[in-house]
């Protein structure tokens, strides 16, 4: 009986068809590529007017080259959404934060279609239910929690993916989110550290997030559970990160500490979009909300323990790549 169950699970995994909503977005494209690489028949939902978008042409061509199918549909067009969902087994949503609340439309379409084995809503950050976030991050998380409850109330099979911080987004400038927030340069003289710099944060490379997500979506062990991406080589404090970079470049950096009180004042004075970024960083970097709790095995699993075969890129390795790029430039 056990062998038959295993075989059935393997058959499901080998044949499951995956639809990614928001697949051409920041994290969505990594998930789509990971799905295709694993051999899933992979579909990316696109609006009809997006196919001719110059900004998306390179991404769409890359998808086609990888064997990913583009399927027309829109989360605001119920009939097209149901039609797309009926063609697959698994739905992964990776829409940006301004569309998070509209995932109720996807839930309604999944419910009507009646064929989905797993739904992964768009989260891909810290756990929205395990944090000490202040506004406006608090409201962002509350919306995600509301989507979770809606999924559960409809009895839709799910997996919640808490990928923590996007590695490339933060490591390319050593998590320098203050003045200017859009800086892409690695520090060579001084480094700004939020809080006391001792809270542990998790930085995962985006391609690894894609791979872990695809492994989880059709794994019976992650059914109706949260999967946390906490590989040991990707857990550091901001002080640890600064020290690691100092060793790479062979010099000490001046460390400028921004107290929690100073950061809260900065959040209060900033424009709304920047308030969101800084309040999310306050939660992760100052409060340590990505690592300050134990994972409950009855409700959740940890990705690197579940999939030790994934050769993820550690922070140390990623900084080596960045250093090499700096030298080559």
Q: What is the pLDDT of residue 199?
A: 98
pLDDT over 80 at 3, yes or no: no
pLDDT over 60 at 172, yes or no: yes
- Is-contact 274 137, C-beta < 8 A? no
Question: Which residues does 256 contact at the CB level (< 8 Å), separation at least 6?
Answer: 190, 191, 192, 193
Q: What is the pLDDT of residue 49?
A: 78
Query: What integer is the mean pLDDT of 98-102?
Result: 96
Query: What integer is the mean pLDDT of 37-50?
Result: 93
Instruction: Give the pLDDT band of residue 12 (cuts 50, 70, 90).
Output: very low
Q: Please tell me which residue, 118 or 48, carries the higher pLDDT value.
A: 118
CA distance 266 to 268: 5
Q: Which of 54-68, 122-136, 243-257 has the lowest average pLDDT?
A: 54-68
pLDDT over 50 at 9, yes or no: no
The pLDDT mean for the chain works out to 93
- Is-contact 226 201, C-beta < 8 A? no
Instruction: Give the pLDDT band of residue 53 (cuts 50, 70, 90).
Output: confident
Q: What is the pLDDT of residue 10?
A: 43
pLDDT over 50 at 194, yes or no: yes
Q: What is the pLDDT of residues 177-188, one digit of tens each?
A: 996 655 668 899
Q: Which of 137-151, 176-190, 224-238 has the lowest average pLDDT?
A: 176-190
pLDDT over 50 at 6, yes or no: no
Q: What is the pLDDT of residue 326?
A: 74
Instruction: Give the pLDDT band of residue 154 (cuts 50, 70, 90).
Output: very high
**How long a stretch of residues is the chain?**
329
CA distance 240 to 61: 40
Query: What integer is the mean pLDDT of 194-201?
Result: 98
Indicate if the alpha-carbon torsion angle 297, 5, 42, 157 is positive or negative: negative
pLDDT over 90 at 11, yes or no: no
> Given the DSSP bridges, would you call strands 200-204 and 235-237 parallel, antiparallel or unpaired?
antiparallel
Phi, psi of 319 (to 5 degrees): -65, -35
Neighbours of 325 (CB within 10 A): 11
Instruction: Give the pLDDT band of residue 329 (cuts 50, 70, 90).
Output: low
Query: What integer is the mean pLDDT of 152-163?
Result: 98
Instruction: Give the pLDDT band of residue 55 (cuts 50, 70, 90).
Output: confident
Q: What is the pLDDT of residue 4?
A: 35
CA distance 207 to 222: 20
Q: What is the pLDDT of residues 297-310, one digit of tens each?
A: 999 999 999 999 99
pLDDT over 60 at 8, yes or no: no
Share of the chain above pLDDT 90, in %: 87
Q: Where are the domains of the chain?
A: 2-165+204-230+294-308
Q: What is the pLDDT of residues 232-275, one digit of tens each?
A: 999 999 999 999 999 999 999 999 999 999 999 999 999 999 99
Q: What is the pLDDT of residue 66?
A: 96
CA distance 68 to 30: 12
Please name the fold of domain 2-165+204-230+294-308.
Rossmann fold (3.40.50)
Which residue of the set 144, 225, 266, 287 is catalytic?
Answer: 144
Structure token pair of residue 198 = 């001792």
CA distance 277 to 267: 9
Instruction: Give the pLDDT band of residue 161 (cuts 50, 70, 90).
Output: very high
CA distance 201 to 178: 17
Instruction: Tell me whether residue 111 is one of the annotated catalytic residues.
Output: no
CA distance 42 to 225: 23
CA distance 34 to 208: 9
CA atoms within 13 A on the CB side of 283: 26
pLDDT over 80 at 5, yes or no: no
Q: What is the pLDDT of residue 182?
A: 53
Three-class HEC string of the chain: CHHHHHHHHHHHHHHCCEEEECCCCCCHHHHHHHHHHCCCCEEEEECHHHCCCCCCHHHHHHHHHCCCEEEECECCEHHHHHHHHCCCCEEEECCCHHHHHHHHHHHHHHHHHCCCCEEECCCCCCCCCCCCCCCCHHHHHHHHHHHHHHHHHCCCCEEEEECCEEHHHHHCCCCCCCCCCCCCCCCCCEEEEECCCCCEEEEECHHHHHHHHHHHHCCHHHCCEEEECCCHHHEEEHHHHHHHHHHHHCCCCEEEEECHHHHHHHHHHCCHHHHHHHHHHHHHHHCCCCCCCCCCCCCEEEHHHHCCCCCCCCHHHHHHHHHHHHHHC
- Is-contact 215 227, C-beta < 8 A? no
């Amino acid at each position: 009986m056990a062998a038959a169950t295993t075989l059935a699970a393997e058959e499901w995994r080998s044949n499951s068809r995956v639809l990614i909503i928001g697949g051409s977005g920041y994290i969505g494209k990594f998930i789509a590529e990971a799905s295709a690489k694993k051999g899933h028949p992979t579909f990316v939902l696109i609006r009809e007017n997006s196919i001719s978008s110059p900004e998306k042409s390179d991404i769409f061509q890359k998808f086609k080259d990888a064997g990913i199918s583009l399927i027309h549909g829109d989360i605001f067009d119920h009939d097209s959404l149901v039609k797309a969902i009926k063609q697959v087994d698994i739905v992964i949503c990776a829409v940006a934060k301004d569309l998070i609340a509209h995932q109720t439309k996807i839930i309604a379409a999944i419910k009507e279609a009646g064929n989905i084995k797993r739904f992964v809503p768009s989260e891909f950050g810290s756990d929205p239910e395990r944090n000490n976030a202040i506004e406006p991050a608090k409201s962002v998380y509350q919306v995600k929690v509301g989507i979770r409850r809606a999924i559960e109330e409809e009895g839709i099979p799910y997996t919640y993916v808490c990928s923590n911080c996007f590695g490339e987004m933060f490591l390319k400038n050593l998590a320098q989110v203050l003045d200017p927030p859009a800086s892409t340069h690695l520090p060579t003289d001084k480094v700004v550290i939020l809080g006391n710099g001792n809270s542990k944060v998790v930085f995962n490379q985006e391609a690894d997030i894609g791979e872990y997500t695809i492994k989880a979506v059709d794994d019976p062990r992650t059914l109706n559970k949260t999967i946390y991406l906490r590989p040991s080589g990707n857990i550091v404090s901001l002080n640890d990160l600064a020290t690691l970079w100092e060793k790479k470049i062979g010099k000490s950096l001046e460390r400028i500490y921004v107290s929690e009180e100073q950061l809260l004042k900065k959040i209060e004075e900033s424009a709304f979009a920047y308030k969101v970024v800084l309040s999310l960083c306050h939660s992760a970097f100052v409060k340590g909300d990505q690592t300050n709790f134990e994972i409950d095995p009855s409700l959740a699993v940890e990705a690197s323990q579940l999939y030790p075969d994934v050769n993820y890129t550690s922070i140390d390795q990623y900084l080596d790549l960045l250093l090499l790029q700096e030298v080559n430039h």
